[in-house]
């Protein structure tokens, strides 16, 4: 039985035996219809490694172009706070 946990509106975790899979919702640019679909973000041996990857790659997923190092740091910090909030909500 596949278990799915939402990280945010554009990311989710699928839990299988001994495996955590990260998916991102992205717009399909190959078709003329602009609809979002889930694409593979990676396979991870632990939940901790998956969440670290999600936080580390937050700047690459950001909707606007980042122009300064300060903006990159702010996006990473926001992602870290989001994970902390999710963990506190689910205690």
* Cβ atoms < 10 Å from Cβ of 63: 5
Our count of domains for the chain comes to: 1
Q: What is the pTM of this model?
A: 0.83
pLDDT digits (tens, 9 = 90+) for 34-82: 678 999 999 999 999 999 999 999 999 998 999 999 999 999 999 999 9
Q: Which residues pair with 8 in a beta bridge?
A: 11
Enclosing domain of residue 59: 3-89
The pLDDT-based confidence of 91 (bands split at 50, 70, 90) is: low
**pLDDT above 80 (res 1):** no
Strand bridging mode 11-16 / 36-44: unpaired
């Amino acid at each position: 039985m596949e278990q799915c946990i939402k990280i945010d509106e554009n990311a989710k975790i699928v839990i299988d035996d001994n495996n955590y899979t990260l998916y991102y919702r992205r717009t399909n640019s190959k078709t003329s219809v602009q609809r979002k679909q889930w694409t593979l973000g990676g396979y991870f041996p632990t939940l901790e490694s998956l969440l670290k990857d999600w936080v580390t790659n937050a700047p690459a997923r950001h909707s606007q172009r980042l122009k300064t190092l300060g903006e990159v740091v702010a996006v990473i910090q926001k992602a870290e706070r989001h994970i902390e909030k999710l963990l506190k909500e689910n205690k």
